[in-house]
């Protein structure tokens, strides 16, 4: 029984968060390098079709009705209660349901493909046939992708993010690499999709083998138990509500900007948005690690939940706060270097407003994940339902009056309201008291961060002397982290960081010796 406990030590959490950051970052970097090669090989029209295919695979999780998340939740909860015997039934019920749902989704995509290819999408006549074959092949990939979420759920529960990322990084990177190699060689879209299907199938099979290795009782005979399906779908249904509304809450402002202002303003809004939201990699990597732990603890361990939440808030603030401040202070310079002076002039304030919204939203990842973990996915979903009409009305008004800056302000107000509701619900459901949220530590952080903001504002007045400005900013951030080390971190946290850094150095030296 001991070996089936969920590991929760700080070193494991830090390692897994670090692995998840790599797992999200590396495929993104591969994509940056590969996309120009793909466009060159396929041409813009075929690349557009391939991009739509990627979007379908990216949002295919909506078809699983939240069963992937539900699998993690229910397996972790069973382990937390010491009910190991029921885990195989939960797993196979979810996995077989994923296959059924994936097959239904495949048939839906196949049946709609001719209509979309011929009447909705403006595809050149010469490419219509190729586009239809491409989407037919993509449809066959859907059950495999959904099944993969159930397999990875087991590995998440046991905190085996090393195994997850060992498969996910190559598989996600191959999405770009296959196209980048096949397109210049003259292969068409159907061939690329077939190769993509093969890579996804192999990745899913490897995930399954890892599941059997981590939890051998899964070798039991697969069976779908209807009595388990209802609670899984009940939980997953609320998760699906949030998953469906999320794209609307994230992307609707772009359609409003295009219709109420002009299409070119969409570009001036999208560019800063895409810069700052890349920082979501950090909170996402953390909460993916925390979700099975929250699920295992449930509502039974108030003290453990509180400590995990409080420490996670502190760590996110220490990392995200200075990064957001840099983006805000250097917004004009960053945009000018990356996209030119016109973008710097028109989008700098937008980037500054969005930056602080992203900081607040990053902190909201924690109560959102905790509420789902302790079995209340309905609360975030209900909040999102309430926010949709409020956000659309606010965004409409502010975009009409203030353009893209109004859009950024509306989005930031919405995520601030969302964060308030989520934290309020987390406090009420978790019965947290104010002292338990480490109020003194938060006050010290705010004091230090306020001084850092003041120092950065003073540094901006040295714009005519870039070297002195750079040295002032570097000195300010070094002073901030030195003070944070002294006043915000406990002895235990300092010891952990020492050991964590020593471990990283040992791994680096071992890698160098292997290379030699």
In tens, the pLDDT along 88-122 reads 888 888 888 888 888 888 898 888 888 877 776 66
Number of domains composing the chain = 3
pLDDT of res. 147: 87
Domain closes at, from 437, 464, 496: 437
Both 205 and 70 in a single domain?
yes
In a domain, 388, yes or no: yes
Say if residue 284 is in the same domain as residue 397. yes
Asked if residues 277 and 415 have their Cβ atoms less than 8 Å apart, the reply is no
360 plus 466 within the same structural domain: no
Q: What per-residue confidence (pLDDT) applies to 507?
A: 46
Q: Which residue has the higher pLDDT, 416 or 311?
A: 416
Token pair in block for residue 424: 């309020």
* Spatial separation of the C-alpha atoms in residues 204 and 164, rounded to whole Å: 11
For residues 324 and 414, membership in a common domain is answered with yes
Residues 251, 200 within the same domain? no
Same-domain status, 405 and 478: no
Same-domain status, 164 and 263: no
Q: Across the chain, what does the average pLDDT equal?
A: 81
pLDDT over 50 (residue 125): yes
Residue 230 belongs to some domain of the structure: no
In a domain, 92, yes or no: yes
* Residue 377 main-chain phi, psi, to 5 deg: -70, -15
pLDDT tens digits along 136-176 = 888 888 888 888 888 888 888 888 888 888 998 898 888 88
Higher pLDDT, 85 or 331: 331
Same structural domain for residues 334 and 206? no
Percent with pLDDT over 90 in the chain: 14
Compute the Cα dihedral for 391, 394, 398, 401 and give only its sign.
positive
Residues 144 and 49 in one domain: yes
Range of the domain at 427: 235-437
| Inside any domain, residue 482 | yes
Considering the domain architecture, whether residues 444 and 346 belong to the same structural domain is answered as: no
Whether residue 341 is contained in a domain is answered as yes
Q: Determine the angle formed by the axes of helices 281-297 and 10-42, rounding to 10 degrees.
A: 130
- Answer with the residue of higher pLDDT: 304 or 257: 257
Residue 500 lies in a domain: yes
Which residue, of 159, 192, 224, is where some domain finishes? 224
Q: Are residues 280 and 373 in the same domain?
A: yes
User: Would you say residue 445 lies in a domain?
Assistant: yes
Q: Is the pLDDT of residue 503 over 60?
A: no
Cα separation, 29 vs 189, whole angstroms: 23
Any domain includes 287: yes
Q: Which residue has the tokens 């009420």?
A: 428
Task: Indicate whether 378 and 492 sit together in one domain.
Answer: no
> 132 or 394: whose pLDDT is higher?
394
Q: Mark which of 437, 456, 490 sits at the end of a domain.
A: 437
Percent with pLDDT over 70 in the chain:
87
- Read off the tokens for 283: 């909170």
The DSSP result for 404-468, as a single string, is: HHHHHHHHHHHHHHHHHHHHHHHHHHHT--TGGG-HHHHHHHHHHHHHHHHHHHHHHTTTT-HHH
pLDDT in tens, 449-486: 888 888 887 877 776 677 887 888 888 888 888 888 88
**Is the distance from CB of 92 to CB of 222 less than 8 angstroms?**
yes
Rounded-to-integer distance, Cα 32 and Cα 428, Å: 44
């Amino acid at each position: 029984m001991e070996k089936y406990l969920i590991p929760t030590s700080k070193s494991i959490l830090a390692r897994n968060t670090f692995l998840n950051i790599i797992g999200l970052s590396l495929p993104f970097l591969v994509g940056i390098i590969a996309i120009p090669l793909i466009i060159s090989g396929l041409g813009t029209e075929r690349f557009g079709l391939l991009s739509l295919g990627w979007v379908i695979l990216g949002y295919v999780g909506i078809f699983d009705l939240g069963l992937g998340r539900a699998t993690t939740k229910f397996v972790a909860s069973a382990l937390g209660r010491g009910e190991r015997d029921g885990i195989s039934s939960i797993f196979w019920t979810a996995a077989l349901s994923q296959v059924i749902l994936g097959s239904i989704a495949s048939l839906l995509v196949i049946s709609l493909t001719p209509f979309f290819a011929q009447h909705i999408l403006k595809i050149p006549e010469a490419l219509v046939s190729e586009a239809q074959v491409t989407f037919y092949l993509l449809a066959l990939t859907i059950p495999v992708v959904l099944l993969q979420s159930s397999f990875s759920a087991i590995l998440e529960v046991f905190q085996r993010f090393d195994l997850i990322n060992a498969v996910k990084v190559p598989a996600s990177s191959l999405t770009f690499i296959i196209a980048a190699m096949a397109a210049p060689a003259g292969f068409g879209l159907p061939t690329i999709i077939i190769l993509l299907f093969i890579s996804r199938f192999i990745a899913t099979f490897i995930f399954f083998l890892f599941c059997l290795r981590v939890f051998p009782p899964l070798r039991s005979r697969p069976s779908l138990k209807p009595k388990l399906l209802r609670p899984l779908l009940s939980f997953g249904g609320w998760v699906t509500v949030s998953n469906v509304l999320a794209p609307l809450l994230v992307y609707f402002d772009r359609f409003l900007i295009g219709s109420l202002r002009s299409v070119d303003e969409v570009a001036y809004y999208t560019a800063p948005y895409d810069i700052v939201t890349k920082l979501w990699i950090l909170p996402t990597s953390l909460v993916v690690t925390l979700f099975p732990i929250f699920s295992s603890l449930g509502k039974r361990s108030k003290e453990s939940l509180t400590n995990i939440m409080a420490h996670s808030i502190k760590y996110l603030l220490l990392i995200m706060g200075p990064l957001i401040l840099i983006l805000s202070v250097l917004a004009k310079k960053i945009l000018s270097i990356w996209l030119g002076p016109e973008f710097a002039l028109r989008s700098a304030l937008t980037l500054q407003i969005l930056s602080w919204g992203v900081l607040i939203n990053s902190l909201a990842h924690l109560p959102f994940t905790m509420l789902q973990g302790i079995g209340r996915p309905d609360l975030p979903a209900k909040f999102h339902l309430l926010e949709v009409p409020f956000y659309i009305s606010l965004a409409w008004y502010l975009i009409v009056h203030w353009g893209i800056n109004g859009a950024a302000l509306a989005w930031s107000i919405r995520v601030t309201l969302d964060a308030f509701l989520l934290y309020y619900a987390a406090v009420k459901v978790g019965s947290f008291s104010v002292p338990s949220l480490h109020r003194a530590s938060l006050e010290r952080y705010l004091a230090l961060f306020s001084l850092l903001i003041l120092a950065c504002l003073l540094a901006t007045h040295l714009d005519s002397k870039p070297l002195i400005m750079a040295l002032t900013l570097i000195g300010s951030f070094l002073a901030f982290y030195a003070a944070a080390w002294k006043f915000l971190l406990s002895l235990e946290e300092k010891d952990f960081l020492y050991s964590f850094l020593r471990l990283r150095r040992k791994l680096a030296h071992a890698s160098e010796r292997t290379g030699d």
